[in-house]
Chain A
């Protein structure tokens, strides 16, 4: 049974219809990369799954819980952690408190346990020793790595990654992608909206390609970058444009 079932959803912003009768499923494991041109609904899809956007019709089930029911949202959000394009570390807290506050206040985790876990995660993202830094003392790449660690503090079963490297320079992007590869190696389920093709080729199990709210391709990473890429002119052009920067 899939972890996330997107069933015939419709989503509009005013007169702009992003999805109309759109369906897709995401399994209990693996890394799925979501590709597609800008404004095609990739981020909206993740935001709908997380309940940050409401859907107009259809349904999205996460572990069989509907995002349309308000009372399910907390459980769904704890199951699906999300990291955004613009890092929003809480500015009144240092790095360690950014990680510790949520499990302590939301999941009622013992503070000492949370601190130990936060330190372990900071080591994992290569930022051990920076626990007392403030957000404005960190580079963009470091902030994103902290944001990933913050999401992981809640023990999510899946991570929704919304173009988390698009505001970073190549060096910082590489730092962040290394962390994601590590997490993928640990078996964390990921849905990643990204334009990092090399990341998709190295780490993803599945690639889906969206255009104007439609599923143009849904394939294993090998099939996508060999067969589909050469057979679908639109996808080939998109990938060429990305590779040309």
Chain B
């Protein structure tokens, strides 16, 4: 079989637009997944049993249902209740909510890794519980959690490719169209896989550089 990628040159504009949309969806979903993950991690770490249970149900439900089903629920199910958003926004919300479950677990592990001594040192210096969390515990736990959060981030970027199934023209959506138009799915999907690899290698490289700067030894 003779591999030829030259025909992809005609689709440069489409591919760049698709790649840009993949990055935009991933970026906003990442922020949402982090914010929700932090909130649920705090619920799971709280003293209230009700909040703990709610956090646990949230994580278990999301981890035990397929992402595609969640995405379809948001896109096809919620409009029946009058809640309708465009495909890109729906993808961001679905990815953000789905990504909050693993982020919650990683952030929670970071919170649990902060030794009692740091809390006591802060209290002894006059910090309130909130100030202790804000200035001492959260920065330490996020540094501890940074590496696994990066893995979750890569996972989220790769999962974003499912968004094509609700008509989003992201990198995957564009490649599906090109494959159909050119009847060369083999080359197209090899190229797309390489493109996703480039994304994740860049994320990995940048996060390693950040990790070297912020990593701490307890």
Residues on A facing B (Cβ under 8 Å)? 50-52, 73-74, 77-78, 81-82, 84, 86, 88, 90-92, 101-102, 105-107, 134, 136, 147, 150-151, 154
Q: Are B125 and A88 in contact (CB under 8 A)?
A: no
Bound-state CA distance A150–B124 (Å) is 11
Q: Are B117 and A92 in contact (CB under 8 A)?
A: no
Q: Are A74 and B217 in contact (CB under 8 A)?
A: no
Shortest C-beta distance, A238 to chain B (Å), equals: 28
Tell me whether A77 and B125 are in contact in the complex, defined as CB-CB below 8 angstroms, given that A91-B216, A92-B139 are known contacts. Answer: yes
Interface stretch (choices B92-100, B128-136, B150-158):
B128-136
Complex contacts, B115 vs chain A, CB 8 Å: 88
Q: Are A92 and B126 in contact (CB under 8 A)?
A: no
Q: Are B120 and A92 in contact (CB under 8 A)?
A: no
Complex contacts, A84 vs chain B, CB 8 Å: 117, 120-121, 124
Among B123, B125, B136, point to the contact of A154 (Cβ < 8 A): B125
Tell me whether A106 and B117 are in contact in the complex, defined as CB-CB below 8 angstroms, given that A91-B218, A92-B140 are known contacts. Answer: no
Shortest C-beta distance, A114 to chain B (Å), equals: 13
Among A52, A105, A136, point to the contact of B131 (Cβ < 8 A): A105
Contacting A at CB under 8 A, from B81-130, are 115, 117-118, 120-121, 123-128
Q: Are A92 and B216 in contact (CB under 8 A)?
A: yes
Bound-state CA distance A86–B121 (Å) is 10
Shortest C-beta distance, A108 to chain B (Å), equals: 12
Q: Are A88 and B216 in contact (CB under 8 A)?
A: no
Bound-state CA distance A105–B131 (Å) is 8
Q: Which residue of B lies closest to A150 (CB)?
A: B125
Task: Report if B176 contacts A (CB, 8 A).
Answer: no
Residues on B facing A (Cβ under 8 Å)? 115, 117-118, 120-121, 123-128, 131, 135-136, 139-140, 143, 214, 216-218
Among A52, A81, A91, A106, point to the contact of B127 (Cβ < 8 A): A106
The secondary structure that dominates the B interface is: helix
Complex contacts, A52 vs chain B, CB 8 Å: 120, 123-124
Among B127, B128, B140, point to the contact of A102 (Cβ < 8 A): B127
Complex contacts, A81 vs chain B, CB 8 Å: 124-125
Q: Are B126 and A88 in contact (CB under 8 A)?
A: no
Complex contacts, B139 vs chain A, CB 8 Å: 92
Q: Are B118 and A106 in contact (CB under 8 A)?
A: no
Bound-state CA distance A134–B215 (Å) is 11
Tell me whether A82 and B128 are in contact in the complex, defined as CB-CB below 8 angstroms, given that A91-B140, A101-B135 are known contacts. Answer: no
Bound-state CA distance A74–B143 (Å) is 28
Shortest C-beta distance, A35 to chain B (Å), equals: 22
Q: Are B216 and A151 in contact (CB under 8 A)?
A: no
Bound-state CA distance A151–B127 (Å) is 12
Shortest C-beta distance, A163 to chain B (Å), equals: 14
Chain A CB within 10 A, most for which of B124, B128, B139, B214: B124
Q: Are A90 and B124 in contact (CB under 8 A)?
A: no
Complex contacts, A134 vs chain B, CB 8 Å: 216
Complex contacts, B136 vs chain A, CB 8 Å: 90
Shortest C-beta distance, B172 to chain A (Å), equals: 38
Complex contacts, A78 vs chain B, CB 8 Å: 126
Tell me whether A88 and B117 are in contact in the complex, defined as CB-CB below 8 angstroms, given that A74-B128, A102-B125 are known contacts. Answer: yes
Q: Are A88 and B118 in contact (CB under 8 A)?
A: yes
Among A74, A91, A136, point to the contact of B126 (Cβ < 8 A): A74
The 10 closest A-B pairs by CB, nearest first: A88-B117, A82-B124, A91-B216, A88-B121, A78-B126, A102-B125, A77-B126, A136-B217, A92-B139, A106-B126
Q: Which residue of A lies closest to B127 (CB)?
A: A106
Shortest C-beta distance, A144 to chain B (Å), equals: 12
Complex contacts, A102 vs chain B, CB 8 Å: 125-127
